[in-house]
Structure 1
Amino acid sequence: MQLAQLNIARAKYPFDRPEIKNFISDLDAINAVVDISEGFIWRLTGEGDNAMDIQAFCDENIIVNMSVWSSIDSLKNFISQTHYRDFSLRIKAYFDDVAAASYVLWWQEEGVIPTVNDAIVRLEHLRRYGDSPYAFSFKVPFNIGKQ
């Protein structure tokens, strides 16, 4: 099994506005770190080397980020011990606070790439029912043996 994750965010500004330019210009550097991170398996990309052009919601300002990792620890290490940590501290300048869960984790069969639609279903499940083996958060990280 491998760990899949989806996170979403709603930008405060349209993506062609100068207020969000720095966020967009940092994406290539962040994705380069992702690509060489221990435990990284896959990430969602669109036309470019990021997922900025993937429209998963009616709201054009909502972006999606999906990736697959070998373990919860490998994802946690990427979040806390790489350039991403500094990047994430600046995210509030670009994105609205979300009242509901904005990310979801789940165990995925090895070699299977999750779809955006499946990920959104899991996020909605987490929002509606809370943490479960089907869809969970870092707060209640179901391990592989609990499925």
Structure 2
Amino acid sequence: MTSSVTSTKHIAELNIGRLVAEPGDARVAEFMGALDKINGMGKRMPGFVWMAEGSGEPGTGNTENNIGNDPKFVANLTVWEDVESLEHFVFNTVHKQFYDRREEWFELMQDQHFVMWYVEPGHKPTLDEALERLAYKQKHGDSDQAFGWSYIKEAKLFREKSCRPVAAE
């Protein structure tokens, strides 16, 4: 649980999940209806840098960033100035209410589905790059190349407020 990265780097994160139903289904309607609000709030948070965007259509969030042409398999890819900014958004905003209820909308995934890594300021990772980082973490475990919350000593809210393990970290 260490990190040798300087504070000049930004942090990228990929969180993938598989919805319990396709995006238009009533079983995921509450989640889908909140995406624009949560993503919009995230974009206004101190420390937010960039988010991979979907079509921009209301109620779709980034769900067009699906994996393997499976509309139920969605990805969220963002870049933040630092771990503390990302952690604050995840655990100290309305996002936490949805985080706590993720098992209502997402299947329990057996494989790891969340990864973070450091990037140079200005870099906007692609979904393919992010999936490579996730695969690296799955194969090698936490390292400076790809890691989860527990690898970062600065991640304090994660230790206090996360409720693991369920559908999406």
**2:148 corresponds to which residue?**
137
Q: What amino acid sits opposite 1:121 in the alignment?
A: E
**2:49 corresponds to which residue?**
41
User: Quick one: which of 90, 94, 105 aligns to 2:116?
Assistant: 105
CA distance in 2, matches of 1:58, 1:129: 27
CA distance in 2, matches of 1:119, 1:57: 14
CA distance in 2, matches of 1:51, 1:69: 17
**2:18 corresponds to which residue?**
10
Indicate the RMSD between aligned Cα atoms, in angstroms: 1.4
**2:105 corresponds to which residue?**
94
Whether the 8 Å CA contact 1:126–1:135 is kept in 2: the answer is yes
Aligned-pair identity in percent equals 28
Q: What amino acid sits opposite 2:73 in the alignment?
A: I
SS in 2 for 1:105: strand
Count of residue correspondences: 143
SS in 1 for 2:66: coil
User: Unpaired runs of 5+ in structure 1?
Assistant: none
Q: What amino acid sits opposite 2:74 in the alignment?
A: I
**2:94 corresponds to which residue?**
83
Q: What amino acid sits opposite 2:70 in the alignment?
A: D
1:130 Cα deviation from its structure 2 partner: 0.2
CA distance in 1, matches of 2:20, 2:115: 22
1:142 Cα deviation from its structure 2 partner: 7.4
CA distance in 2, matches of 1:74, 1:96: 27
Superimposed CA distance per residue, residues 36-84 of structure 1 (whole angstroms, 9 cap, x where no aligned partner): 1111001111111621112332433110000000111111111111110
What TM-score results when the alignment is normalised by the length of structure 1?
0.92
What TM-score results when the alignment is normalised by the length of structure 2?
0.80
Q: Which moved more, 1:10-19 or 1:119-128?
A: 10-19
CA distance in 1, matches of 2:132, 2:69: 15
Does 1:62 find its partner at 2:73?
yes
CA distance in 2, matches of 1:47, 1:129: 34
SS in 2 for 1:101: coil
